[in-house]
Amino acid sequence: MNHTIETILEHRSIRKFTHQTIDDALLTTILNCAIAASTSSFIQCVSIIRVCQQDRRETLAQLAGGQAYVASAAEFFVFCADFNRHKQIHPEAQLGFTEQTLIGAIDAALMAQNALLAAESLGLGGVYIGGIRNNPQAVSDLLEMPSHVIPLFGLCLGYPDQHPEKKPRLPQSLVIHQEAYQPELDKQILNDYDNQTRHYYRNRSNGNKDMSWSEQITTALNKEARPFMKDFIHNKGFSTR
Q: What pLDDT shows up at residue 14?
A: 97
Domain termination residue (choose one: 126, 142, 164): 164
Whether 83 and 32 share a structural domain: yes
**Structural domain of 93:** 3-164
Q: Is residue 235 part of a domain?
A: no
Whether 30 and 68 share a structural domain: yes
Query: Model-level pTM greater than 0.85?
Result: yes
Number of structural domains found in the chain: 2
Give the domain CATH number at 57.
3.40.109.10
Fill in the DSSP letter of residue 167.
Answer: P
The per-residue pLDDT for range 191-203, each reduced to its tens digit, is 999 999 999 999 9
Whether 68 and 153 share a structural domain: yes
The per-residue pLDDT for range 135-180, each reduced to its tens digit, is 999 999 999 999 999 999 999 999 999 999 999 999 999 999 999 9
The per-residue pLDDT for range 18-29, each reduced to its tens digit, is 999 999 999 999
Q: Is residue 234 part of a domain?
A: no
- Work out the burial of residue 216: count CB atoms within 10 Å of its CB; fewer than 13 is exposed, 13-18 middle, 19 or more buried: middle
